[in-house]
């Protein structure tokens, strides 16, 4: 998927800058009495390669409560395959998380045009499967466009994308990327805070475009619980739960070197998650550490480590 190309980009930037299908889960699911959000599994973010069916299998075995949809794969399925899969999800009590935006809006006009022409077919498949959430990330620099030029291009293109998604009852979350070390990559800096992404969302003039939150970017942007409490449940499409790297300040963190939630304790995940409970967030939360140690593990070890980290973090909810 195009959005997963960010992992390759981050790796390059780091160099430059520095059982049975429905068997019982291996680990008991964390207490859900105080939260409405769901623990989601995004395999590409933890170095695990699975197709849609294998992803559902893995989520059920380990105790995840939601899975990310793969638009390109779902678009190839026949109606009978779609129905069978939806039935399996219902049996396992697993729901859809958020799909990555399956097109690149950051490059040339030609690339953008090609992507948006293909978007309706993919959205139709997602709608047929009951998917209502999609997300993408905002690169906080640009090689040639000034802040204003880049802002105008983002507002125009994302606004057009939002119009397409609205026809299929899909909402789009925009993720701001907070590490200050990344700001030196290109000549022109761009938005990298919650306040700025809110301004961009307003400029798109589309009410189905909202925010994708990430605890790591929240930390790197030096934001607070008060910032989180300015949001409502409707303002958030999906959430990534990550920790920062020990031995570095917020200003020294590198986007491609994050940790699983709770690994360092630098990010106050207790405060972060309890704020989401307070505002009534009811969407998916997933890990996206871009972590080499995790990526080097075999699939089962990576899945188990990710579930354990997510469960321990969810247990911080008071």
What SS3 string covers the chain?
A: CHHHHHHHHHHHHHHHHCCCCCCCCCCCCCCCCCCCCEEEECHHHHCCCCCHHHHHHHHHHHCCCEECCCHHHHCCCCHHHHHHHHHHHHHHCCEECCEECCCCCCCCHHHHHHHHHHHHHHHHHHHHCCCCEEEEEECCEECCCCHHHHHHHHHHHHHHHHHHHHCCCCEEEEEECCCHHHHHCCCEECCCCHHHHHHHHHHHCCCCEEEEEEHHHHHHCCCCHHHHCCCCHHHEEEEECCECCCCCCHHHCCCCCCECCCCCCCCCHHHHHHHHHHCCCCCEEECCCCCHHHHCCCHHHHHHHHHHHHHHHHCCCC
Q: Give 91: exposed, middle or buried? Use CB within 10 Å, 0-12, 13-18, 19+.
A: exposed
Q: Report CA 23 to chain centroid distance, whole Å.
A: 27
Instruction: Give the pLDDT of residue 261.
Output: 98
Comparing CA positions, the residue from 159, 161, 105, 102 lying closest to residue 126 is 102
Cβ atoms of 123 and 99 closer than 8 Å: no
Question: Of the CATH numbers 3.20.20.150, 2.60.90.10, 3.10.580.10, 3.30.70.260, which one belongs to the domain with range 2-314?
Answer: 3.20.20.150
Cβ atoms of 237 and 259 closer than 8 Å: no
Q: Would strands 236-240 and 171-176 be described as parallel, antiparallel, or unpaired?
A: unpaired
Instruction: Give the pLDDT of residue 12.
Output: 43
Distances (CA, A) of 69 to 94, 136, 196, 310: 12, 14, 28, 20
How far is the C-alpha of 66 from the C-alpha of 131, rounded, in Å?
11
pTM of the model: 0.91
Comparing CA positions, the residue from 230, 213, 231 lying closest to residue 269 is 213
Instruction: Give the pLDDT of residue 23.
Output: 36
Instruction: Give the pLDDT of residue 7.
Output: 47
Sketch the domain layout of the chain as residue ranges: 2-314
Instruction: Give the pLDDT of residue 278.
Output: 97
The string of pLDDT tens digits covering residues 235-287 is 999 999 999 999 999 999 999 999 999 999 999 999 999 999 999 999 999 99
Which sign, positive or negative, has the C-alpha torsion 175, 244, 35, 30? positive
Q: Would strands 38-41 and 209-214 be described as parallel, antiparallel, or unpaired?
A: unpaired
Instruction: Walk along the chain (318 residues) and give the pLDDT tens digit of each residue.
Output: 445 455 444 444 443 333 333 333 444 555 566 899 999 999 999 999 999 999 999 999 999 999 999 999 999 999 999 999 999 999 999 999 999 999 999 999 999 999 999 999 999 999 999 999 999 999 999 999 999 999 999 999 999 999 999 999 999 999 999 999 999 899 999 999 999 999 999 999 999 999 999 999 999 999 999 999 999 999 999 999 999 999 999 999 999 999 999 999 999 999 999 999 999 999 999 999 999 999 999 999 999 999 999 999 999 998
């Amino acid at each position: 998927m195009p959005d997963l190309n960010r992992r390759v980009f981050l790796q390059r930037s780091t160099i430059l800058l520095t059982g049975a299908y429905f068997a019982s889960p291996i680990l008991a699911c964390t207490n859900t009495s105080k939260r409405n959000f769901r623990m989601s599994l995004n395999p590409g973010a933890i170095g695990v390669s699975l197709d849609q069916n294998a992803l559902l299998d893995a989520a059920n075995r380990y105790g995840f409560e939601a899975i990310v949809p793969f638009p390109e794969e779902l678009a190839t399925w026949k109606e009978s395959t779609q129905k069978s899969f939806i039935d399996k999800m219902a049996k396992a009590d697993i729901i859809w998380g958020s799909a990555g935006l399956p097109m690149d809006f950051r490059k040339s006009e030609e690339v953008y045009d090609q992507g948006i022409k293909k978007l309706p077919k993919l959205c139709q498949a997602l709608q047929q499967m009951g998917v209502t959430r999609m997300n993408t990330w905002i690169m906080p620099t640009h090689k040639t466009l000034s802040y204003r030029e880049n802002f105008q291009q983002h507002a125009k293109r994302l606004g057009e994308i939002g119009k397409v998604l609205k026809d299929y009852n899909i909402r789009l979350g925009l993720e701001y990327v907070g590490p200050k070390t990344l700001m030196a990559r290109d000549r022109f800096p761009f938005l990298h805070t919650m306040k700025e992404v809110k301004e961009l969302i307003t400029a798109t003039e589309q009410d189905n475009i909202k925010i994708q939150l990430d605890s790591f970017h929240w930390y790197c942007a030096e934001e607070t619980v008060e910032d989180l409490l300015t949001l409502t449940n409707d303002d958030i499409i999906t959430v990534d739960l990550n920790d920062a790297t020990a031995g570095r300040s917020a200003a020294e963190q590198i986007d491609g070197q994050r940790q699983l939630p709770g690994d360092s304790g630098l990010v106050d995940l207790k405060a972060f998650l309890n704020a989401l409970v307070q505002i009534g967030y009811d969407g998916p939360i997933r890990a996206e550490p871009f972590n080499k140690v995790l990526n080097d593990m075999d699939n089962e070890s990576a899945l188990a480590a990710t579930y354990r980290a997510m469960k321990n973090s969810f247990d911080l909810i008071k």
